[in-house]
């Protein structure tokens, strides 16, 4: 049965009438009335869902998620055999590595910061420049990137086959004995990543009607977040991640952002808008890791994007609100990885 929204004044009158009768009568249908969304909140705010939808060509199953869990931690997907997806997107550290920019094979570094893998299932596009439209496409990129894991698709598949993954791929993909492919590798990792969600943040409870979920400073920061215009870009369930914006703070830098993908000069220094979920735990900030603290990031964003110099008190209030976006992280244990023993070489002189 669906819940009914009851105005506070009507509810008060109803309870008062019950009191006069000497006992409290339950609402119709035996359910308690739904909590009211706090006043003054923009409809652009949304709670973070507890589950993420899967594409029709990659339905979620326990077997596929478990395979993706192993692959996410599999160092054999890197040339040296020492780097896994979890190296840069550490599930025990809010899905990041806390470096300015990611470090890959041979201690090589790229130009960009590792974004969190948590809640990436809800992003409209992956990577800072949005070059991958899906989690599946994103999963293929780091494995092949020279500065990250540095393998070809054929090398990755051959390594997994030699290690003993073929039966797990068959189990995860409908019994197909030829299922160990690079495309299916990406599908399995994406299926696992769709389980890396962090609902239940204090702000989610506040949106659901718990007015005590945020303290006074966080509520002041929330009001300022709306009044100053932050919500214009940072909205939806992730408070960001669903569009692009010119980042004037880095205009003139060698990293031109989305223009490298679109080949359009109008996209110079345009980057995907950062989602703010768990932002208090994913330092350093921006695509190049140039903001060391959340306070620095808030001040820079106010100046560069809003043309506003936030006072120290306003920065504290905004940071207090951003801390309320930290959700409940799932427990992700280190998985047992397949390790097939190589066939013993025949004795000398035998075929």
Q: What is the pLDDT of residue 18?
A: 38
What is the Cα–Cα distance from 129 to 243, expressed in whole angstroms?
A: 10
**Exposure of 109 by Cβ count < 10 A (0-12 exposed, 13-18 middle, 19+ buried)?**
middle
Match domain 62-193 to its CATH number in 3.30.70.260, 1.10.3720.10, 1.10.760.10, 3.30.310.50.
Answer: 1.10.760.10
Q: Which residues pair with 90 in a beta bridge?
A: 96
pTM: 0.87
The rounded Cα 172 to chain-centroid distance in angstroms is: 24
Whether the domain at 62-193 and the domain at 202-323 fall into the same CATH topology: yes
What are the boundaries of each domain within the chain? Answer: 62-193, 202-323
12-67 tens-digit pLDDT: 333 333 333 333 444 444 454 557 899 989 999 999 999 999 999 999 999 999 99
pLDDT over 70 at 2, yes or no = no
Strand partners, 244: 272
Of 74, 136, 148, 193, which residue is the catalytic one? 148
Report which of residues 250 and 323 the model is more confident about: 323
| Stretch 199-221: mean pLDDT | 97
Contact 287, 113 (CB under 8 A): yes
Active site residue 136: no
CATH code of 202-323, in short, is: 1.10.760.10
In the predicted model, is pLDDT for residue 348 greater than 90? no
> In percent, how much of the chain has pLDDT > 90?
83
Distances (CA, A) of 340 to 184, 189, 279, 351: 20, 21, 40, 23
Residue 21 vs residue 93, higher pLDDT? 93
pLDDT tens digits, 282-307:
999 999 999 999 999 999 999 999 99
**pLDDT interval class at 90 (50, 70, 90):** very high
How high is the pLDDT of residue 340?
84
């Amino acid at each position: 049965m669906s819940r009914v929204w009851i105005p506070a004044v009507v509810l008060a009158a109803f309870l008062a009438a019950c009191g006069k009768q000497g006992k409290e009568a339950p609402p119709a249908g035996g359910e308690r009335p739904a909590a009211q969304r706090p006043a003054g909140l923009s409809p652009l705010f949304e709670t973070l869902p507890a589950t993420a939808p899967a594409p029709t060509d990659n339905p979620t199953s326990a077997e596929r998620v478990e395979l993706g869990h192993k692959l996410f931690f599999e160092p054999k997907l890197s040339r040296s055999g020492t780097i896994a997806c979890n190296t840069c997107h550490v599930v025990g550290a809010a899905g990041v590595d806390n470096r300015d920019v990611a470090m890959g094979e041979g201690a090589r570094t790229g130009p960009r910061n590792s974004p969190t893998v948590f809640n990436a299932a809800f992003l409209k596009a992956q990577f800072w420049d949005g070059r991958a439209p899906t989690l599946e496409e994103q999963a293929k990129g780091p494995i092949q990137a020279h500065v990250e894991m540095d393998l070809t698709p054929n090398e990755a598949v051959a390594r997994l086959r030699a290690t003993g993954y073929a039966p797990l791929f068959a189990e995860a993909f409908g019994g197909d004995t030829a299922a160990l492919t690079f495309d299916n590798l990406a599908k399995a990792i994406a299926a696992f990543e769709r389980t890396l969600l962090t609902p239940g943040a204090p702000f989610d409870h506040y949106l659901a009607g718990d007015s005590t979920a945020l303290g006074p400073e966080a509520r002041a920061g929330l009001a300022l977040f709306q009044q100053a215009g932050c919500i214009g870009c940072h909205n939806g369930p992730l408070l960001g991640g669903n569009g692009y914006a010119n980042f004037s703070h880095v205009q003139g830098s060698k990293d031109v952002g989305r223009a490298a993908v679109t080949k359009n000069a109008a996209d110079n220094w345009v980057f995907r808008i950062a989602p703010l979920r768990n932002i208090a735990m994913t330092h350093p900030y921006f695509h190049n890791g140039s903001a060391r603290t959340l306070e620095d990031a808030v001040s820079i964003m106010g100046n560069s994007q809003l043309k506003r110099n936030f006072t120290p008190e306003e920065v504290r209030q905004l940071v207090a609100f951003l801390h309320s976006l930290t959700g409940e992280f799932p427990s992700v244990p280190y998985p047992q990885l397949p390790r097939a023993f190589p066939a013993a070489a025949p004795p000398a002189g035998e075929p």
